[in-house]
Structure 1
Amino acid sequence: MSKITIRPMEPEDWDAVSRIYLEGIATEHATFQTTCPPYAAWDASHTKDCRLVLLVDDVIAGWTALHRVDPRWCYRGVAEVSIYVGEQFRGHGLGCHLLAELCRQAEEAGYWTLQSTVLQDNAASRALHTKCGFRLVGRRERIARDCHGRWLDTFLMERRAAADEPEGYKKL
């Protein structure tokens, strides 16, 4: 039996986190990104709270983080989810553990809406988000081109906090 642990992401985790991110990029259905940014750029674009890594037997197997969708005060409780599981760890339900913990911590931190943009070819991600309480709120048709120039749709999925005003919303 493998030991599964979820803990806050540390800057020292970046080598493993970026490797997993690059594995996601290589699938061509996890993100429109084609390169992994340096840590400083990634760090600046994600919230400082709710950054998690999932370890299997002390090896980082996945990560998740939030990105604010809008800097305006009225949207302070709305964030977009990034979640990636390493290639060798996919298909074992680890993403569900990680996303469920992110949702729990996000509510504790005061986020009232989490959203995720899922590329049309990523059925596994749509299923994961649905299993963790996200619902489909829209489909954006031909929203962007992939690295081969092919137009792709994205699905916008959303999860609302259980309470309209989660415990920590005033500190956001």
Structure 2
Amino acid sequence: MVRQVKLQDAKAIADIYNEYVVHSVATFDTEPVQEEEMRTRITEISSSFPYFVYEEDKKIVGYCYAHTWKERAAYRYTLETTVYLSSGHTGKGIGTLLMQKLIEACRENGYCALIACITEGNEASNILHERLGFKQVSRFKKVGLKFDRWLDVIDYELLLAPTHG
């Protein structure tokens, strides 16, 4: 089931995220995040933006949230999205359910555009976002270095019905 994040979810979220930190290029963090740091991140993000978890048998197996894309005031109706699933729970539609809930919450809160920044080669994330209606809008070459490998980032955008302007 999809529900709002709670601070008690910090350890489970850190565990999911740290698998990506240590074993993949999906995130550009290079050191695992401690539970207390994740609790701080959750507090900061969820106080202003939608943040959801997917709970299965009382265990968090995925999460997603939206956050500031750029700091300048003119960007205030655009958010960046993030979604992660625990290993063994990909390909089951959980990412889709989480992202659908996130998109709807962003739409209801008056946001106009969502941006997903995806490391080149993350085909599962590309497919997920394309199925949700995101369109590729840019590609940045060699903007990250992880595991002694230069990495490209592809940006996807989803335009929501504007409620401003």
Q: TM-score, normalised by structure 2?
A: 0.89
What is the 5 A alignment of 1:77-92? 77-92=77-92
2:4 corresponds in structure 1 to: 8
Q: Which residue of 1 aligns with 2:68?
A: 68
| Structure 1 counterpart of 2:127 | 127
Q: Of 15, 32, 36, which aligns to 2:33?
A: 36
AA paired with 1:81?
T
Q: CA deviation at 1:121?
A: 1.9
Does residue 109 (structure 1) correspond to residue 106 (structure 2)? The answer is: no
State the shift of 1:106 in Å.
0.9
> Distance between the aligned counterparts of 1:16 and 1:40, measured in 2?
11
CA displacement at 1:70 relative to structure 2: 1.9
Could you tell me the TM-score, scaled by structure 1's length? 0.86
Shift of 1:63: 0.4
> Shift in Å at residue 138 of structure 1?
0.9
Query: What are the superposed Cα offsets for residues 102-154 of structure 1, whole Å, 9 maximum, x if unpaired?
Result: 101111112111101100121101111111111100111111211x2211111
Shift of 1:72: 2.2
Offset, 1:39: 2.7
Shift of 1:26: 2.9
Give the 3-state SS of the residue equivalent to 2:95 in structure 1: helix
- Does the Cα contact within 8 Å between 2:7 and 2:43 map onto a contact in 1? no
Q: Following superposition of structure 1 onto structure 2, how do residues 19-58 of structure 1 map, counting pairs within 5 Å? A: 19-34=15-30, 35-36=32-33, 38-43=37-42, 46-48=45-47, 49-58=49-58
Structure 1 stretches of at least 4 aligned residues deviating more than 3 Å after TM superposition: none
SS at match of 2:33: coil
The alignment covers a number of residue pairs equal to 161
Q: Say which SS state the counterpart of residue 74 (structure 2) adopts.
A: helix
Does the aligned pair in 1 maintain the 2:54–2:63 contact within 8 Å?
Answer: yes
CA distance in 1, matches of 2:73, 2:40: 23
Q: Distance in 2 between matches of 1:125 and 1:63?
A: 14
SS in 2 for 1:87: coil
1:18 to 7, 14, 19: 14
Q: Which runs of 5 or more structure 2 residues have no equivalent in the other structure?
A: none
